Amino acid sequence: MGSINLRELTEADREQWVELFRAYVRFYEEKIPDEVVALTWERMLNGRDGFFAIVAEEEGGRLVGLAHMLFHPSTWSPTTYCYLEDLFVDIDTRRHGVGRALIEAAYREADKRGATRTYWTTRSDNVRARRLYDRLAKLSGFIQYRR
């Protein structure tokens, strides 16, 4: 595998971003309506509502990964927090450091914005990803509930 460039999402990325985002959603066996994908695209592209996106690009311009962040205030801190809501690397590109690079880029963006916490969730059975996460962050011990 050649070198990977990490950069902010641009308008020219739309088609490849949609493909990657849909692959991410399929990985978690979920479905998201087209209108929500379109809204997410707009939020990420324009930085609306505290959103920010980084993509990983191979030589030649193919997108192979994405990281979607949401910056928000906290009730526990005078600073903001960074929620790394979506992190995905194309299945053919995994195990080459792209996930690590995307997380580290999220950390840099959080530091740049003064966020004092960067956090994310994953499924408990996502063993391969959790091996990486255990090296880059602390498991919080919290359990997520949903309605």
**Nearest C-alpha neighbor of 50 from the set 133, 105, 100, 110:** 110
- Give the pLDDT confidence of 50-74 residue by residue, as tens digits: 999 999 999 889 999 999 999 999 9
Query: Please, which pLDDT band fits residue 93 given cuts at 50, 70 and 90?
Result: confident
**Strand, coil or helix: what is 10?**
coil
Query: Please, which pLDDT band fits residue 137 given cuts at 50, 70 and 90?
Result: confident
Query: Angle, to 10 degrees, between the axis of helix 34-46 and the axis of helix 14-27?
Result: 120
Delineate the domains of the chain, giving CATH numbers in brackets. 4-136 (3.40.630.30)
Contact residues for 53 (Cβ-Cβ < 8 A; gap 6+): 8, 9, 17, 44, 45, 66, 67, 68, 69
- On average, the pLDDT of the chain sits at 91
- Give the pLDDT confidence of 25-58 residue by residue, as tens digits: 999 899 999 999 999 999 999 998 999 999 999 9
100 pLDDT above the threshold of 90 = yes
Q: How far apart are CA 64 and CA 5, in angstroms?
A: 10
pLDDT score of 1: 56
127 pLDDT above the threshold of 80 = no
Tokens at residue 58, please? Answer: 């191979």
Measured torsion, CA atoms of residues 106, 112, 115, 121, in degrees rounded to the nearest 10:
0
Give mean pLDDT, residues 71-87.
94
**Nearest C-alpha neighbor of 106 from the set 54, 46, 65:** 54
pLDDT score of 111: 97
